[in-house]
Structure 1
Amino acid sequence: MLWNLRIRAAERGVWKSAQMRRMLADAGLEISAGKMSSWWAGTPATMRLEELDVLCSVLKCSPTDLMSPEPDKVAARRPRATETVNGNNQDHGAGNGGVSPVVTPRFGRPRSEPPL
């Protein structure tokens, strides 16, 4: 995801992270200077939905305004065409039209029995 916090903040006339932090505090969200710095400087690794809700309320925007998908990055994370899975070579969509291998459930054949 592409993180657009600084762009959305600038659209609202917020140019400094300290100002954004004060606005969040006024809305009831107290966050550390370090956390605000990480949000301001780049894409946060994690964010609580409660924090995102307050952030959107303060900036008068939606989560989709703050985040933009990056499909090229997702495609780069996909496994190579042939990898070993459970000791077997599996084709992950390279020769079968991009369709993932079929996974069959193990009904009636549990891996182990629970302790007595």
Structure 2
Amino acid sequence: MRWNLRLAAAHRGIWKASELQVMLAERGLVISTGKMSGLWSGHPASVKLEDLDTICAVLECGVEELLIPEPGRVTRPRADYAPQTATGTGTTVTPKRRDGRSLPPE
């Protein structure tokens, strides 16, 4: 996925991160300067869904304008890769109680 906040904001006449930061704060989303810098630069560490809702409301846009899928960037699994399964390993898993007590005899 590619983060497209800066272009979405520019389409609405918002040219500075600080302008958007003030608009978001007016809607109750107070973002630190560091986090706003990450959002604006296009490389956010994370975005909460609740925050995404507020950003969409302020910009009057949909999520599809902020998050651009890039399916070509997904790597293909190796041809010789086979996921390991727990079946056939020969080990027996015995469940244990979480309260520290032992299970009754069978």
Q: So what's the TM-score if we normalise by structure 1?
A: 0.72
State the Cα distance separating 1:83 from its structure 2 match.
2.6
Higher relative contact order (CA 8 A, sep 6+): 2
The SS at the match of 2:81 is strand
> How many residue pairs end up in the alignment?
94
Q: Which residue of 2 aligns with 1:26?
A: 26
RMSD: 2.1
Q: Write the deviation string for residues 29-64 of structure 1: whole angstroms up to 9, x where unpaired.
A: 001000000000023232101100000000000111
Q: Which has the larger radius of gyration?
A: 2
Q: Write the deviation string for residues 41-92 of structure 1: whole angstroms up to 9, x where unpaired.
A: 0232321011000000000001111011001111x2x321113644xxxxxx
Aligned partner (choices 78, 81, 84) of residue 83 of structure 1: 81
State the Cα distance separating 1:114 from its structure 2 match.
1.4
Code of the residue aligned with 1:39 in structure 2: it is L
Identity of aligned residues (%): 47
Structure 1 stretches of 5 or more lacking a match?
A: 87-102
Structure 2 stretches of 5 or more lacking a match?
A: 97-101
State the Cα distance separating 1:18 from its structure 2 match.
0.6
Q: Where in structure 1 do 4 or more consecutive aligned residues deviate above 4 Å?
A: none
Q: Which residue of 2 aligns with 1:95?
A: none
CA separation of 1:58 and 1:111: change in aligned 2, threshold 3 A: farther
Q: Which residue of 2 aligns with 1:59?
A: 59
State the Cα distance separating 1:8 from its structure 2 match.
0.7
Q: So what's the TM-score if we normalise by structure 2?
A: 0.79
CA separation of 1:4 and 1:112: change in aligned 2, threshold 3 A: same
Distance 2:82 2:12 in 1: 51
CA separation of 1:73 and 1:111: change in aligned 2, threshold 3 A: farther
Native 8 Å contact 2:2 2:67 kept in 1: yes
Q: Which residue of 2 aligns with 1:41?
A: 41
Distance 2:50 2:65 in 1: 16
